[in-house]
Amino acid sequence: MASSETAFAEAHRARGLAPFLRSQMRNIAPFLTLIFLSAFFAFASPSFATLDNLGNILTQVSVTGIIAVGLTFVILCAEIDLSIASIANVTGIAVAYFTLQESYVNIANIPLPGAVAIILSILLCALLGLVNALGLTVIGIPSFIMTLAMMQIAAGISALLVRGQIAYKVPSLITTLGSGSIGGIPWIVIVAAIMLLGGHLVLTYTRFGRYVYMVGGNREAAEYSGLNVKLILGAVMVISAVCSGIGGMLGVAHFGSAQQNEFDTYLLDSIAAVVVGGTSLFGGRGGIGNTIVGLFVLGVLNNGLDHVNIDSFLKILIRGLILLAALIINVYAQRLREKAAE
Amino acid sequence: MSAGRSPILELQGITKSFGGVEALRGVDFALLPGEIHGLVGENGAGKSTLMKIIAGVHTEFSGRFLIDGKETHFRSARDAHAAGIAMVHQELSVAPDLTVAENVFLGNQPTNALGLVQWRRMAREAGEQLARFGIDVDPMSRLGDLPIGLQQLIEIARVLFSGARIVILDEPTSALSPPEVERLFTTLRRLREDGTAIVFISHFIEDILLVSDTVTVFRNGRKVAETASAATSKGALIEAMIGRGGEALEHSYTDDLMLPQPSDSTVVLKADQLSLARSLKDVSFEARAGEVLGIYGFMGCGQQELSRILFGKLKPDGGTLVVDGTPKTFASTAAARRAGVALVPESRRDMLFHQEPVYKNISISILDRISSLLLKPTQERDIARRQVEQLQIRPPVVGLDLGMLSGGNQQKVALAKWLTYPPRLLVLCEPTRGMDVGAKNDVINIVRDLRARGLAIIVLSTEPETVLSLADRILVLKRGALVREFKNEPVSKDRLLEAA
């Protein structure tokens, strides 16, 4: 039995490297992009390929990375979450709102002990995620629309809390994790790494992780297999919101202030990181490993464009083009894989 | 019979391989105008591959391809279409949200000088065409609202009336009720009079013998026989198909079969007065441990809906389900699974993960029994290997993507996922549809074995043979209502058809 299995596996492998590579296109293409971009910037600018700059890049992608952990779960289920940046913003503002501010900050806030402030803020983002989850699963609103509404709702709560003002103080734990460092390594990088690792472990080694992949791979089949698909979809929406909230709190500490519209660019960046990394928008394929590569592609691109002399307005266009290229690869990788499976 | 006519299509020495595996080996095939040519063979014998070559879907092959005596090479399905070749694929390919008329004229709607669609003309002509086929529907109704059988007839009608000279029908009768099949055959015969050449692929050998002039048999990528239909028999064809004595394998079920004394074992499921919108009316029955309950009816009789209600996928409008003495209302399929109900739907695509390995497909429904938080892949693979061995799934490689398996083996995987921790009640929809004789027998044996292990099993099918080969007791479902129960009495295909 076992021997016939190996024999078959070998015969199968003997079909050649090309089909294997085609089926792995999703993972290979982003990695090649990363190597190509790094090589290009290293060649174009002497200040790019330095240890210091690597630290910069890591710090720059940390907030995106924390948000992207949860978003990876959502996209693996073939859903989308457009409220991540708004939820990050409102959670960051909430944690400042519950912290005693300097006297010149003109916000009618409610100062609470740091731990309580953090817990309340996490509850807030979890609650918003739960609303997303209920809208998606119980009412049946497509996630694209549901989270679009949530994007506005969260932005509205943010606006009501700060009323156009800026808050600066957050609990000391958040300040440390967001802007402190240990042994030269910024805490925010460590937090991002731990969360990415945690996400990877959950997706790869737990039953829930398997369910996420299976629901994304074929939702109908998951239901016919007796999985509670709605529960799993609801769970990923909550996970996404909580990751966004943590990213928002640390982001506020990292930037040194909490204000309206502070995280707007993180919506596109997070989606781009997940998709550029090769996680399938059709669900079921990809993972945190892909997201990490995607984060680095974006990080290297953003950082590298600052090192070469380039029109800062052109940067936006270039990022858009890179995203388009990644989307094309994403769709083609799906098609090639389907072909390889035939 | 064919004397004096020259072939409209001729293939010589066709060989086609996929990644080193030869699907067709040196096949000769000729099609005469005004001929209905039946094609039989087990799954994977090469029938569909040959037809896809004719229809321009596969363009890479070796051998000669002649149309009207002229050598031709299609570069696409479009070329084949231009040459007057049309194919109806096994899977329904209609646009359910468009009207019947739009579906009939899909791709060539009549337009006026401005390029605007002439709706009235389109509706009128579609109605006329369908009427010739004996189909009486409002051409402006939404296609998706019609029963599946009717949708399939409309799709076939579209192809038949497209003016094609060569029409290929792949399993056209599997979703049709007997009167619909009869209508299809009448139309095919009329087209034959007009000189259209028709290729008819089917697992239903009776249908082939009834309608075709010539039958060609495929086995393992070779043509093994070609004979006039009048000069052969079902037994002879089956023997040629599988290359061993076929009589024992395929009953004809034309003779009476005696159903056993009804079992008085524990009632596992009691359905009481189930009803659902337009699909089901007051359906009540019991399923007992160690008994196979067959539910037979034509396509669209409500079987699908009934099976979904039992598995918590659909909520009934009224009625109750009692499982092992406890009334249940399933909020989700997960709840049904926990209550010990398992379902294998008629479409394998719906319950399997084609891009995932076999072992993940087998373990998905029992993961919560294997692991609480962390996965145990070694154990998963062991369980899968046991199932693969027991059900003789080929190739026996649990790490292979499911999509690489043949249809019959995929169906076995669909069964395997419920067998490690057997459910109390197993609901099977069309468990042997589209399978070759060998795989069919394997599935029948698996089901019998499960019955012996004390499962309550419900088999729902639109094929009388399937129900007859498996069931201890048979219910007939007609337009959403149970109309007849067969138990402890003789039953045959005729009697079933009569009751439905």
Q: Which residue of B has its CA nearest to A19?
A: B19
Question: With an 8 Å Cβ cutoff, are B365 and A206 in contact?
Answer: no
Q: Model confidence over A47-59: pLDDT tens digits?
A: 888 888 999 999 9
Phi, psi of B108 (to 5 degrees): -140, 60
Neighbours of A117 (CB within 10 A): 24
Shortest distance, CA B31 to any CA of chain A (angstroms): 30
Q: Is the pLDDT of residue A320 over 70?
A: yes
What structural domains and CATH numbers belong to chain B?
9-242 (3.40.50.300), 257-351+417-499 (3.40.50.300)
Q: Where are the strands (E) in B335-393, listed by range?
A: 341-344
Q: Please check whether residue A4 lies inside any domain of the structure.
A: no
* B343 interfacial to chain A (CB closer than 8 Å): yes
Is the pLDDT assigned to residue A67 strictly greater than 50? yes
Lowest-confidence region among A141-145, A227-231, A280-284: A280-284
CA A85 to chain B, closest CA, distance in angstroms equals 31
SS3 B346: coil
Contact B367 A211 (CB under 8 A): yes
Residue A13 domain-assigned (yes or no): no
What is the model's pLDDT at position A77? Answer: 96
Report chain A's mean pLDDT, rounded to a whole number: 88
DSSP string, B457-483: EEEEES-HHHHHHH-SEEEEEETTEEE
Residue B430, number of CB atoms within 10 A of its CB: 23
Query: CB of B336 within 8 Å of any CB in chain A?
Result: yes
Residue A318 C-alpha, separation from nearest chain B C-alpha, in angstroms = 34
Which residue on chain B is closest to A337 by alpha carbon? B355
Residues in B touching A342 (Cβ below 8 Å): 403
| Residue B429 · residue B467 · CB < 8 Å | no
3-state secondary structure of A227: coil
Cβ-based burial of B329 (10 A; exposed 0-12, middle 13-18, buried ≥19): exposed
Residue A232 has a pLDDT of 97
Question: Which tokens hold the place of B143?
Answer: 């296609």
Q: Which residue of A has its CA nearest to B307?
A: A224
Q: Are B234 and B56 in contact (CB under 8 A)?
A: no
**A127 Cβ neighbours under 8 A, 6+ residues apart:** none
CA distance, residue A168 to nearest chain B CA (Å): 41
**How high is the ipTM of this complex?**
0.83
Of A1, A210, A230, which has the smallest distance from its Cβ to B389's Cβ? A1
Q: What is the pLDDT of residues A165-192, one digit of tens each?
A: 888 888 989 999 999 889 889 999 999 9
Residue A19, pLDDT score: 66
In chain B, what residues touch A225 (CB-CB under 8 Å)?
333, 337, 351, 364-365, 417
Residue of A nearest to B415 (CA): A225
Alpha carbon of B407: minimum distance to chain A alpha carbons (Å): 12
With an 8 Å Cβ cutoff, are A227 and B364 in contact? yes
Rounded to a whole number of angstroms, the distance from the CA of B343 to the nearest CA of chain A is 7
Smallest CA–CA distance, residue B213 to chain A, in Å, is 34
- Using CB atoms, pick whichever of B360, B368, B396 lies closest to residue A5: B396
Task: Decide if B398 and A5 are in contact by the 8 Å CB cutoff.
Answer: yes
Name which residue leads in pLDDT, A28 or B497: A28
A227 to B333: CB separation less than 8 angstroms, yes or no? yes
- Least CA distance to A18: which residue of chain B? B19
Inter-chain residue contact B343 with A224, CB threshold 8 Å: yes
Question: A42 in a domain, yes or no?
Answer: yes
pLDDT score of B433 = 77
A8 domain-assigned: no
Per the CB < 8 A criterion, the answer to whether B247 and B235 are in contact is yes
pLDDT of residue B126: 87
- What pLDDT does residue B440 have? 83
* pLDDT of A338: 63
Please judge whether B354 and A341 are an interchain contact, meaning their C-beta atoms are less than 8 angstroms apart. yes
Is A14 a domain residue? no
pLDDT above 90 (res A334): no
B398: closest CA of chain A, how far (Å): 8
Candidates A224, A341, A342; nearest CB to B345: A224
Using the CB atoms, write b or e for B244-261: b if 16+ within 10 Å.
eebeeebeebeeebebee
Does residue A61 contact residue A270 with C-beta atoms inside 8 Å?
Answer: no
The pLDDT tens digits of the residues spanning B66-108 come to 998 889 888 888 888 888 998 887 767 778 888 888 888 877 7
Indicate if the pLDDT at residue A26 is higher than 60: yes
A221/B367 CB distance under 8 A = no
Expressed in percent and rounded to 5, the helix, strand and coil fractions of chain A are 75, 0, 20
Among A305, A233, A300, A245, residue whose Cα is nearest residue A60: A300
Q: Which of A210, A214, A221 sits opposite B350 (nearest CB)?
A: A221
Identify the pLDDT of residue B175: 66
- Give the pLDDT score at A336: 72
Domain CATH code at residue A64: 1.10.3470
CB contact under 8 A, B353 and A1: no
Mutation site, B313, B333, B347, B404, interface A, largest A CB count within 10 A: B333
| The pLDDT value given to residue A7 | 47
Does some domain include residue A6? Answer: no
Do B365 and A226 count as a contact with CB atoms less than 8 A apart?
A: yes
Q: Which residues of chain B have pLDDT under 50?
A: 1-3, 245-250
pLDDT at A120 over 90: yes
Q: Measured between CB atoms, which of B19, B20, B355 is closest to A284?
A: B355
Does a structural domain hold residue A2? no
In a domain, A15, yes or no: no
- Domain limits for position A124: 22-341
User: Where do the H-state alpha helices sit in B11-168?
Assistant: 47-54, 77-82, 100-104, 119-132, 148-160
Q: Is A225 in contact with B371 (Cβ distance < 8 A)?
A: no
Chain B nearest CA to A230, separation (Å): 9
- Mutation target for A interface from B17, B351, B427: give the one with most A CBs within 10 A: B351
Q: How many domains does chain A have?
A: 1
